[in-house]
Structure 1
Amino acid sequence: MCGGDNDCGNVAGKKHGTCWCDREFFPREIFDKSPSTGSEKTCICQNCLQKLKSGIST
């Protein structure tokens, strides 16, 4: 969403389930705000996720 690195463990090749995002709750609204790239949505960084959860617009 912000264009920054989301530090994705899955993309980095770490074992599935060890990325920070595997332990987070993603509110449905964040996916409505996330731009599409073809048939998929973009990754969401921890910072953008926390801003959304805090009620700050990203």
Structure 2
Amino acid sequence: MSTASPVSYSDSMRCPLCEQDNQCAIAAGREASSCWCMSTTINEEAKQRAANIGADKRCLCQQCGRPIDN
């Protein structure tokens, strides 16, 4: 028996790092190809931070997921 609770629809629409609307097309029931994340590179550090808190199944928002400029 798993102790993790399933991700609810409202959770899937929120960024796991900042809890703002992640604007995920898939979670909103639209085509994956229309999602903002399909046309950019997602910040690897942000993805790792989400995984570290057990929220790697939730999409990041554009603000948290944008690549870091060097």
Structure 1: tracts of 5 or more residues without a match: none
Offset of 1:22 from its aligned partner?
1.0
Offset of 1:54 from its aligned partner?
4.2
Task: Give the equivalent residue in structure 2 for 1:53.
Answer: 68
Instruction: Kindly tell me the number of residue pairs found equivalent between the two proteins.
Output: 51
Task: Give the equivalent residue in structure 1 for 2:32.
Answer: 16
Name which one, 1 or 2, has greater alpha-carbon Rg: 2
Please list every run of at least 4 consecutive aligned residues from structure 1 whose deviation after the TM superposition is greater than 4 angstroms: none
In angstroms, what is the RMSD of aligned CA positions?
1.9
Please identify which structure carries the higher strand content: 1
